[in-house]
């Protein structure tokens, strides 16, 4: 039986009474599912082993394939999706990719060998417009339920959930215009990736509608979705006199800030920088990063609910479900400096 100290610690962590914790640990009735889950989460957070009677039998296995984990938004998606799957009784099998490591196709074969009930793909090859969709069509022909995140394939019989990349760029551009900026650039990753293509489309549309700029190409610099890629793209935009830079990811934004400082300039006094994702810790960078927040929590819950519906044979809609992002204003953007 847990000690009184243990019960108190668990109760404080879960936000419930010690009596409720005791009921959960002893498998008693009269406790809501959410409260029970909060106590189980408290056990995990505080490092206590779950009693044997609380270990549920898994309802099945769900594969979760994500890109490399160096971009903090992907571990964030993985954590939220895994948590929601576990809450639904499923065991997630996390597959993470790295350059030169196991490929997506190899992971998929391994998941099939393990008899998974479905596979969730986050920013995988489905988001690469140069990659053939045959691999996913083969999975559907096998009857494997799929859910795609941030990459819509119109000809594929699978539900898709994405952030509204086009709309996000209008949020960023409007904010910068309100700060007096007119020379606004976009630092973005390779155009073959659908989220990059959509951000470029949204950025071009925003420049046209808000500033009357009909050709956005001089204001777009492409590189890699990385700190180094952001630095390279931002350097190109700074050389052409841009006073504000919207970036395709938070990592690129950190690289853009590095590029600004390498020229002896400051953010936001000389150049404003906007990121994308609102990854964990972006509020603690120097300066705290203004960014476009993906709705990771809501998207992850929708992904899991859609997968459960697929497994149950409910056949969710095949139209893409778009989630509106949110502009988070911090200290990396400010009024456009006056010409000296």
63, 116 contact by CB (below 8 A) = yes
Instruction: For 191-201, write each residue's pLDDT tens digit.
Output: 999 999 999 99
Confidence at residue 3, expressed as pLDDT on a 0 to 100 scale: 60
Confidence at residue 56, expressed as pLDDT on a 0 to 100 scale: 62
Q: How much is the mean pLDDT over the chain?
A: 93
Could you tell me where the beta strands, DSSP code E, fall in the chain? 60-66, 90-96, 118-122, 146-149, 160-163, 184-188, 220-222, 244-247, 272-277, 290-293, 320-323, 326-328
20, 11 contact by CB (below 8 A) = yes
Over residues 268-296, mean pLDDT: 97
Instruction: For 135-161, write each residue's pLDDT tens digit.
Output: 999 999 999 999 999 999 999 999 999
Confidence at residue 293, expressed as pLDDT on a 0 to 100 scale: 98
Q: Above 50 in pLDDT, residue 279?
A: yes
Whole-structure pTM value: 0.86
Percent of the chain with pLDDT over 90: 78
Instruction: For 18-36, write each residue's pLDDT tens digit.
Output: 889 888 888 788 888 788 8
Give the model's confidence band at 339: pLDDT under 50 very low, under 70 low, under 90 confident, else very high: confident
Confidence at residue 232, expressed as pLDDT on a 0 to 100 scale: 98
249, 276 contact by CB (below 8 A) = yes
Least confident window among 48-62, 79-93, 314-328:
48-62
Q: Above 60 in pLDDT, residue 127?
A: yes
Confidence at residue 1, expressed as pLDDT on a 0 to 100 scale: 45
Tokens of 229: 């890629």
């Amino acid at each position: 039986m847990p000690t009184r100290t243990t019960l108190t610690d668990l109760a404080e962590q879960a936000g419930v009474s010690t009596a409720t914790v005791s009921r959960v640990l002893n498998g008693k009735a009269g406790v809501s599912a959410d409260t029970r889950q909060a106590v189980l989460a408290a056990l995990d957070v505080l490092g206590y082993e779950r009693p044997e009677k609380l270990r549920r039998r898994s309802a099945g296995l769900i594969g979760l394939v994500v890109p490399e984990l160096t971009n903090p938004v992907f571990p964030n998606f993985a954590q939220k999706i895994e948590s929601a799957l576990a809450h639904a009784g499923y065991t997630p099998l996390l597959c993470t990719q790295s350059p030169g490591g196991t490929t997506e196709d190899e992971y998929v074969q391994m998941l099939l060998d393990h008899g998974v009930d479905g596979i969730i793909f986050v920013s995988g090859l489905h988001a690469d417009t140069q990659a053939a969709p045959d691999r996913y069509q083969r999975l559907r022909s096998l009857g494997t339920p799929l859910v795609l995140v941030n990459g819509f394939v119109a000809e594929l019989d699978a539900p898709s959930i994405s952030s509204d990349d086009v709309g996000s760029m209008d949020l960023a551009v409007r904010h910068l215009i309100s700060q007096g900026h007119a020379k606004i650039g976009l630092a973005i990753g390779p155009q073959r990736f659908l989220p990059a293509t959509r951000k470029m489309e949204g950025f071009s549309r925003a420049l046209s509608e808000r500033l009357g700029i009909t050709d956005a190409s001089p204001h777009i610099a492409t590189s890699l979705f990385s700190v180094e890629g952001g630095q390279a793209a931002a350097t190109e935009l700074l050389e052409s006199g841009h006073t504000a830079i919207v970036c395709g990811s938070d990592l690129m934004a950190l690289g853009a800030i590095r590029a600004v400082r390498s020229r002896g300039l400051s953010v936001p006094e000389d150049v404003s920088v906007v990121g994308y994702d609102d990854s964990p810790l972006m509020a603690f960078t120097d300066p705290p990063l203004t960014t476009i927040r993906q709705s990771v929590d809501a998207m992850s819950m929708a992904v899991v609910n859609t997968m459960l519906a697929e497994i149950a044979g409910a056949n969710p809609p095949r139209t893409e479900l778009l989630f509106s992002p949110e502009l988070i204003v911090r200290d990396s953007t400010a009024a456009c400096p006056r010409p000296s």
